Amino acid sequence: MQYRLLGKSGLRVSELCLGTMTFGEEFGWGANQDESRRIFDAFTAAGGNFIDTANYYNHGTSEIYVGECIRAERDALVVASKYTLRRPGANPQDLNGGGNQRKNLRLSVESSLKRLGTDYLDLFYLHVWDWTTPAEEVLHGLDDLVRSGKVLHIGISDSPAWVASYAQAITELRGWSRLAAYQGEYSLRQRGVESDVLPMTRAMDMSMLAFGMLGGGVLTGKFNQAGGPGEATRAHEATPQELTMAAAVLEVAQECGRSPSQVAINWVRQQSDNIIPVLGARKVSQLIDNLGALEFRLSPEQIERLSQTNPRTPAYPHTFWGDWVQKMIFGERTADLHGLQE
């Protein structure tokens, strides 16, 4: 395990993050407390210090389990949580039981701290953009939490790039705590962040926390194997194109002598230097396998071969930036500016 700085901050975090949405069984899947502890121990034994949870994960059980795990070494760990989705125990009729408004922000962070058994969070995310709360209200509330010491750094997840970049500009204009991280889904199967979100995180000096790297299990190849665990649901969960992606992952995995999961993770983490993969596992054996991604790198040829199974399909305005536009801007010397867009 190696380490890096979180966004434009001095906080040192491991190059992989442990996602704990699987801690608890209230969602109908996941790990019990003993297995969750084994997963946590395997991650920290490998040098991991970055733990991710949320108040909504298994209706609060994830935070409770994480709290038990971190108790003996709290200050040596970087703990992140999130708010927006309905608070555990909130009255179903309470319109402010979820959302990004200051009221839910305050109540959510207080209840998360209690479940985690700590008096501060290293990183606190807005979980989902709710399309109603003004950005200024969110950012001022988060800055107040930083100034109070209950939160050290802030982030945003599952939100449009324009929201995150607008928010970052406000923090710089007002002198408020800036966004250190963005968390979003990213995999060979789901490349949507490449158009705006990923370039935005680089431009705004934010770490990109990537989850869902196995494409809902599709990229492990389980739907490609006759008689395999995914065969019964193949028609519902994997399209012909997704089966082609998975076949390419399996082929590269065989070439490398590695597991498909490790290949899928490395395809993501080699896309940009600011990406930190969020590993999710229901069994300690799955986590140990995922950690094997640290032991090798894919070649540029292998990355390109995988990428071609699901080519990026930019939409307007990205499609407007073509050779003729470059020529109209830079004249005849466009070849001298190769890579300028990056």
The residues carrying an active-site annotation are: 57
Single-letter amino acid, residue 224? N
Are the C-beta atoms of residues 271 and 300 closer than 8 Å to each other? no
Phi, psi (5° rounding) for residue 122? Answer: -75, -35
Residue 35's SS3 state is helix
Helices and strands counted in the chain (H then E): 12, 10
Single-letter amino acid, residue 296? F
**298 secondary structure, DSSP code:** -
From the list 262, 297, 278, the residue with the least C-alpha distance to 212 is: 278
Cα–Cα distance for residue pair 66/87, rounded to 1 Å = 17
Pairing state of beta strands 12-14 and 3-5?
A: antiparallel
Only one residue has tokens 């599709």, namely 218
Residue 196's SS3 state is coil
What is the CB neighbour count within 10 angstroms for residue 4? 15
**336 secondary structure, DSSP code:** G
